[in-house]
Structure 1
């Protein structure tokens, strides 16, 4: 298991550009899974960032039509993905599986945005509750409805930080969060991978840690216990603290 983790760390920067040379079919399959998982996670992160950047507009009670429909949103998310990774999202160079899964993510985010137009454009109300965490959960649920027999994506967190029970970590995720990520000898940003079983099926699993940034602390920072804008007590977190993880499942 640790060997696969080291392998993932060594190839994480190369997988998006497809520039690795591999020594065996097993290594090639592992690298392909790491690449796929990384792409799915990065597209989810890009989509969340776009929604985060629009929070001020979405929550402006004086503006009705925000002109933020699914088409505009997905175009900006894809552009941000390209800017961050240096790679085109869906190209002929990708395997058929990757093209299918990434397109499912794009379709999922577009549908979520289009289905929430009434909330986004509701005048006279400031905070709409349509925050990145809610958006990500809805996007991942739609993704599962489309291709859940092939792949799953979800955002989880240490159990004490979970606000929605749907996001509670399963046993595998909890073990990685509690035993692997805190290891001081482990590079902080490394993902963790393992071939195991999910729902009785062989699966490649990948968990990517996420740490609080300054923007997260508006809801998750100090003072601990103070009620934030969403109605939850703040966790008292600091920038750089582990705040969550993106969990990827690729069925084999």
Structure 2
């Protein structure tokens, strides 16, 4: 798919960016802090941990979406029925993701040791990259199948599998979700549904911005960050009009328009009180 013909995209401060999915918006993050009584000292100590966790959450969401972008741009190759071996290996995917991520964040995933990122991000970004590569590697038989013009290896499929694999290996939960998910494993919980419904209600008012929630009491709290994703022009072939018509994958179309809310990337990170 072309750079301007994306699958789900992210909005940056209410404006769809030029990238295929766009980069994660880091501005205007709204904090809803639901905690018990804390002394100022304890609150300040926790704030440092929250800042690092918030940055880590954004970096993880960016990386998952970078992988989605690479898959999206490779759809024409993946679905080419004339070719057997496509050359779209896990190694090729990795290099494309590294380039995409560097363009979004300025970070080189191949040189994270020297990067100014939170220790948690330095630990987890390689885990997500490895999980993403494994998803592509295990899809090689499907990708390289000749005579099939639709492989169902799309950004949403990739992201769901990569997020689940990553979450099983770390203390952080990563998820792609939507109000009307085609895959029920991506169904939203109460927090995710509430925020996405708020974004839907704000349609036409500049779009949604990442939302964060800290909850829990005692020594461990949980930071939750939800980042919106939006439909791009190319994904309307499956999600656009007419609503109810079956798309190529056998699902009814949602009747969406370009720029409509498609879903979100959800990150859940435990935070320890020091």
What is the TM-score of this pair, normalised by structure 1? 0.84
**Equivalent in the alignment of 2:7:** none
2:234 matched to 1:211?
no
CA distance in 2, matches of 1:181, 1:227: 24
2:117 pairs, out of 90, 94, 100, with 94
SS in 2 for 1:215: coil
SS in 1 for 2:27: helix
List aligned pairs for 1:98-113, cutoff 5 A.
98-113=121-136
Q: 1:181 Cα deviation (Å)? A: 5.6
Q: 1:236 Cα deviation (Å)? A: 0.4
Of 187-196 and 161-170, the range deviating more from structure 2 = 187-196
CA RMSD of aligned residues (A): 2.2
1:47 pairs, out of 36, 49, 67, with 67
Contact 2:29/2:209 (CA < 8 Å) preserved in 1?
A: no
1:242 pairs, out of 261, 264, 273, with 261
CA distance in 2, matches of 1:217, 1:185: 19
Contact 1:157/1:244 (CA < 8 Å) preserved in 2?
A: yes
Contact 2:240/2:254 (CA < 8 Å) preserved in 1?
A: yes
2:154 matched to 1:134?
no
Q: Which runs of 4+ in 1 moved over 6 A?
A: none
Query: How many pairs are equivalent?
Result: 228
CA distance in 2, matches of 1:130, 1:192: 29
CA distance in 1, matches of 2:119, 2:104: 23
Q: 1:44 Cα deviation (Å)? A: 0.7
Q: 1:112 Cα deviation (Å)? A: 0.6
Q: 1:34 to 1:44 in 2, by over 3 A?
A: same
**Equivalent in the alignment of 2:188:** 169
What is the TM-score of this pair, normalised by structure 2? 0.77
2:173 matched to 1:152?
yes
Contact 2:243/2:253 (CA < 8 Å) preserved in 1?
A: yes
Q: 1:244 Cα deviation (Å)? A: 0.3
Structure ranking higher in helix proportion? 1
**Equivalent in the alignment of 1:114:** 137
Contact 1:181/1:209 (CA < 8 Å) preserved in 2?
A: no
CA distance in 1, matches of 2:108, 2:259: 29
Q: 1:155 Cα deviation (Å)? A: 0.6
CA offsets 1:192-214 (integer angstroms, 9 cap, x no match): 001125xxx63100001111111
**Equivalent in the alignment of 1:143:** 166
Q: 1:180 Cα deviation (Å)? A: 5.6
SS in 1 for 2:87: coil
CA offsets 1:99-136 (integer angstroms, 9 cap, x no match): 12101111001111111111111112111111111111
2:100 pairs, out of 64, 80, 105, with 80
